[in-house]
A = this chain, B = another copy of it.
Amino acid sequence: MRALRALRSRRFQAMAAAAAAGGARRGRVLNPETMNPAIRRVQYAVRGPIVSRALEIEQELREGVPKPFTEVIKANIGDAHAMGQQPITFLRQVTALCLCPELMKDPSLPSDAKERAQRLLEACGGRSVGSYSASPGVPMVRENVARYIERRDGVPSKAEDIFLSTGASDAIVNILKLLVSGSGSSRTGVLIPIPQYPLYSAALAELEAVQLGYFLAEERCWALDVAELRRALAEGRRRCCPRVLCIINPGNPTGQVQSRECIEAVIKFAYEEKLFLMADEVYQDNVYAEGSAFHSFKKVLMELGPPYSEEVELASFHSISKGFMGECGLRGGYMEVVNMNPEVKAELSKLVSVRLCPPVLGQMILDTVMDPPKPGEPSYERFQAEKKAVLGALAEKARLTQEIFNRTPGIHCNPVQGAMYSFPRIDLPPRALAAAKENKQAPDMFFCMRLLEETGICVIPGSGFGQKEGTFHFRMTILPPAEKLKNLLEQLSSFYTKFVTEFS
């Protein structure tokens, strides 16, 4: 009798749970079985399970759950302001004035910010940033982007080839949407670096394109090797139709800065193999290492001359989220398309028009970055000082990261030549691999989860970016303030040593 009651009670509980879990009574129209399987296959490690756990731990800390640390440090994402980097004043003044033109009478705001805001407002419908802009962006801003590229590269750029975007991600996905077609063995294959920024793998999964990884050479500071490109392409040709080559320079998560020679070789390879080039150059202002310099694919392509300069198709991407600005939340960016077929460019224009326009304030910020205060203007000194301070601090933190990690036996960190991340390799003992397997986790996920639980430091396992089999890494930003970063690096190194001892 008691057993029956218990059984009934269990059955009732199961029913209640099913109802609570979303009404299992007749099943949902949209459920894991019926939903788009391509979306299920999407992975995005930068905001994946480890970040969910970090948010839970933050909540637990707020609720007073005792932990061996007092705060979670989110070193998982290139989110500069969240780590305390200060916004550049001129950028913010101009956008605030655009939003609230009644501030034109505020005497504390400089005249060049007011003039810029006036000019930008004149370029907006009804003189309001609340109007839609043209879908590829405000013409004045596109023009300023083209002038910026000309100054950067010393080769011509046309406003009609510039498409403003909602961050770089938006533009990257739009170009991929145009490129991916075919089915079976004629499906478009896209070459991406391994390790890669997981936007690429996520977008390719969503678009059901074939991902073709080429490995960067860790032993040569993550250099790109054309022989490896060739291997990946040949392998890809056996199962799909490779048509696109993606480059991330400076590298994310790997931080390398490509040499001019390397870029030339990649362009020649793309020409020979008929590949469309996508150059993710969002970290172009973030170059720290002595002897490293940023060379844009556009500049190198144009300087190579014909046939390359006339025939190699290129889309290059930039963003206001990185550099010295770090304006991630504003969602601004642009792409420049080079040698794009005019009919395809018209299709791109149509495609972006369906989403109406990129956020107008992101466009305004982009304008101030492309066309910053000039010598003699009231905001010039402050702008330069703020920019220099941010980039100087990042360079110092890049150096610090490499130095502290490499002190620890078992951690191997390439120089952070550019971008905002270190991507050190960690040796993991066999017993740690066995423990991870038991936990049904990738070994570096197992390590990073333990790190998070014991120290509050949130970094992303290398398996989220891709890595050579049998090697293990994590990505950590260099963004926390120097003193804090130093502590983090030391804490992380000691945790690693302890972890290795535990599993030896």
On chain A, which size bracket covers the interface?
35 or more
Contact B30 A178 (CB under 8 A): yes
Contact B96 A355 (CB under 8 A): no
Minimum C-beta distance from A26 to chain B (A): 6
Contact A353 B310 (CB under 8 A): no
Contact B361 A36 (CB under 8 A): no
Contact B170 A344 (CB under 8 A): no
Tell yes or no: A356 within 8 A of B by CB.
yes
Give the residues in chain B near A327, CB-CB below 8 Å. 130
Interface string of A73-85 (1 = CB under 8 A from B): 0000101111111
Q: Which among A40-48, A406-414, A439-447 touches the partner chain?
A: A40-48
Quick one: which of B77, B275, B328, B329 contacts A29, CB cutoff 8 A?
B275
Quick one: which of B100, B132, B134, B181 contacts A37, CB cutoff 8 A?
B181
Contact B44 A354 (CB under 8 A): yes
Tell yes or no: A343 within 8 A of B by CB.
yes
Tell yes or no: A393 within 8 A of B by CB.
no
Contact A29 B243 (CB under 8 A): yes
Near B by CB (< 8 A), chain A positions 42-97 give 42, 44, 46-48, 55, 77, 79-85, 87, 89, 92-93, 95-97
Residues A129 and B96 in contact in the complex (CB < 8 Å), given A178-B39, A275-B29, A354-B42: no
Tell yes or no: A25 within 8 A of B by CB.
yes
* Chain B: CB-nearest residue to A84: B126
Give the residues in chain B near A124, CB-CB below 8 Å. 329
Near B by CB (< 8 A), chain A positions 7-26 give 19, 21-23, 25-26
Q: How many chain copies?
A: 2
CA distance A46 to B135 in the complex (A): 11
Minimum C-beta distance from A354 to chain B (A): 5
Contact A329 B360 (CB under 8 A): yes
Residues A329 and B179 in contact in the complex (CB < 8 Å), given A126-B81, A344-B31: no
Give the residues in chain B near A130, CB-CB below 8 Å. 80-81, 87, 325-330
CA distance A462 to B343 in the complex (A): 26
CA distance A95 to B103 in the complex (A): 13
Residues A343 and B32 in contact in the complex (CB < 8 Å), given A25-B311, A181-B37, A357-B329: yes
Quick one: which of B32, B95, B105, B350 contacts A44, CB cutoff 8 A?
B350
Contact B39 A347 (CB under 8 A): yes
Give the residues in chain B near A358, CB-CB below 8 Å. 331
Contact A313 B102 (CB under 8 A): no
Give the residues in chain B near A46, CB-CB below 8 Å. 353
Pull 27 A–B residue pairs with CB atoms less than 8 Å apart, ordered by A. A22-B342, A30-B179, A30-B276, A32-B343, A36-B178, A36-B180, A37-B181, A39-B178, A39-B351, A40-B347, A48-B353, A77-B132, A79-B132, A81-B125, A81-B126, A81-B130, A82-B128, A87-B130, A96-B97, A96-B100, A99-B99, A105-B108, A106-B106, A130-B325, A166-B359, A170-B355, A203-B354
Residues of A at the B interface (CB closer than 8 Å) are: 19, 21-23, 25-26, 28-32, 34-37, 39-40, 42, 44, 46-48, 55, 77, 79-85, 87, 89, 92-93, 95-97, 99-100, 102-103, 105-106, 108, 124-126, 128-135, 166-167, 169-170, 177-181, 199, 202-203, 206, 243-244, 274-276, 307, 310-311, 313, 325-331, 339-344, 347, 350-351, 353-362
